[in-house]
Amino acid sequence: MLEINQPAPDFSLADAQGISHSLNDFQGQWLILYFYPKDNTPGCTKEACSLRDNLAQFKTLNATVIGISTDNSASHLKFIEKQSLNFSLLADSNGKVSASYNALFKLGPIKFSKRHSFIINPEGEITKIYRSVSPSLHSQELLSDLAQLQK
């Protein structure tokens, strides 16, 4: 199980355009890493749009928002275009990164990311873990906690 103040598990995943991103790409800044079950579903859309609408506030706190699900890059691209998302979504098609963050749900052959989030500090350490997330309230919760962590 992941704990506060431990190094965040590394990852290397492709975004909607096929460009690879890893944890090291975000060194020196705060990272909001949020896992979600499925593109274009009601709860996931609500959460993504709330994060989209608050992205400027995250940027003022030197934070980057990244979404991860087991959907593929093509699905992410459609979701980004349909909802005008202004942050990257990474494709964890095999579920390995979700599993490394204890955010993978498996039921037989079906697997998807659970709705879990992490705030990772500029040194790459986990500073906050969310295992229970309300899609409509989570963006404000993240902003408030991020501001507190930076004090």
* Residue whose structure tokens are 């998807």: 112
| Contacts with 48 (C-beta within 8 Å, 6 or more apart), sequence order | 36, 67, 79, 83, 85
> Is 44 among the residues known to form the active site?
yes
Q: Are 112 and 43 in contact (CB under 8 A)?
A: no
Q: How far apart are CA 104 and CA 88, in angstroms?
A: 20
State the catalytic residue, choosing from 8, 31, 32, 44.
44
Q: Are 113 and 90 in contact (CB under 8 A)?
A: no
Q: Report DSSP state, residue 40.
A: T
Q: Which of 69, 61, 66, 70 is CA-nearest to residue 86? A: 66
| Contacts with 97 (C-beta within 8 Å, 6 or more apart), sequence order | 9, 11, 13, 68, 90
Catalytically annotated residues: 44
